[in-house]
Amino acid sequence: MPIDAAKALAAEPRSAEIAWTRKDVLLYHLGIGAGVPATDPDELRYTLESRLHVLPSFATVAGAGSPDVIGGLNAPGVDVDLAKVLHGGQRVELHRPIPVEGRATATSRVAAVYDKGKAAVLVMRTEVADAAGPLWVNEAQIFVRGEGGWGGERGPSARREPPTTAPDKEVERPVREDQALLYRLSGDWNPLHADPEFAAGAGFDRPILHGLCTYGITLKAVVDTVLGGDVGRVRAYGTRFAGVVFPGETLRIRMWTPDDHAVRVTVTAVERDDAPVLADTLVEHE
């Protein structure tokens, strides 16, 4: 059985030591499109080690590749075909700003397994702490096509309507043709994002962008547009991946600021009649 929900949920949390350097942070920032224009002082805080601040979505890649971290798919009771996997959603909660380099312990477990009939949704939760205390919590929702139907709990519904009022801010962000090739160097080597044959086997005309790359591009746009470029103001950031992005497309990022502590966001693909890309997206901030 590819997903044994009972076994996955009963498994003890697993811990792994993770570490990251300024170089990892710089590479991540380039992978989500930072540094354009290269000499813009506002960009240098993402690209120059002497001025470096860490975009909080770096939490999703810090320590990526560490074999004991089950935030990826190596969890007990989970044995799925990578070609059936899509990233369904992501939430990061920050306890404090992420240091530009660090060592920490990541503790991961499968927090929920939902049976959507034609698909399964796995919820992977990872808590990260260093010697000074808790740093962040990651929760990833992983959508596994063709794996439902065992009679399990259906879980919450993802269907919600976007805001109907005009946004307070709107920006466009072009996605480079080689964005996924850069982004994957931060640790997600899934061939779905680079290998045309693998992508075709998964049902796509060409490789698609990592969901977490769109996630990072969007958070940077919100921080730069609404939060005065201050990454330290972000408290939490959640989204649902509502549709694929192809490298080379343009993202339209719309922002609503209903109060002093939240930014609601939608992201659409401009060249495909504003097809939804990110939905149910909220940045909570100071």
Ligand X SMILES: CCCCCCC[C@@H](O)CC(=O)SCCNC(=O)CCNC(=O)[C@H](O)C(C)(C)COP(=O)(O)OP(=O)(O)OC[C@H]1O[C@@H](n2cnc3c(N)ncnc32)[C@H](O)[C@@H]1OP(=O)(O)O
Q: Which residues bind ligand X (CB under 6 A)?
A: 71-72, 85-89, 116, 119, 121, 140-143, 154, 157-159, 188, 190, 192, 208, 210-211, 240-244
Place of tokens 């962040």: 136
Helices within 89-210 (DSSP H only): 179-183, 196-201
In whole angstroms, the minimum distance from the beta carbon of 50 to ligand X comes to 31
Q: Which residues, in sequence order, are CB contacts of 116 under 8 Å at separation 6+?
A: 148, 154, 155
User: Is 193 one of the catalytic residues?
Assistant: yes
Closest CB to ligand X among residues 226, 265: 265
Q: Please say whether the beta carbons of 88 and 239 come within 8 A.
A: no
Q: Which residues, in sequence order, are CB contacts of 214 under 8 Å at separation 6+?
A: 175, 241, 245, 251, 267, 277, 278
**Max CA pair span of the chain:** 56
> Buried b vs exposed e over 252-273: b needs ≥16 C-beta within 10 Å?
bbbbbbeeeeebbbbbbbeeee
Closest CB to ligand X among residues 145, 169: 145
Q: Please say whether the beta carbons of 208 and 193 come within 8 A.
A: yes
Closest CB to ligand X among residues 191, 229: 191
User: Is 188 one of the catalytic residues?
Assistant: yes
Catalytic pick among 87, 193, 210, 285 = 193
Closest CB to ligand X among residues 210, 252: 210
In whole angstroms, the minimum distance from the beta carbon of 158 to ligand X comes to 3
CA dist 273 and 92 (Å) reads 29
Catalytic pick among 24, 87, 115, 188 = 188
In whole angstroms, the minimum distance from the beta carbon of 209 to ligand X comes to 7
In whole angstroms, the minimum distance from the beta carbon of 138 to ligand X comes to 7
Closest CB to ligand X among residues 2, 258: 2
In whole angstroms, the minimum distance from the beta carbon of 123 to ligand X comes to 9
Q: What burial class does residue 229 get, using C-beta atoms within 10 Å of its C-beta: 0-12 exposed, 13-18 middle, 19+ buried?
A: middle
CA dist 75 and 140 (Å) reads 13
Q: Which residues are catalytic?
A: 188, 193
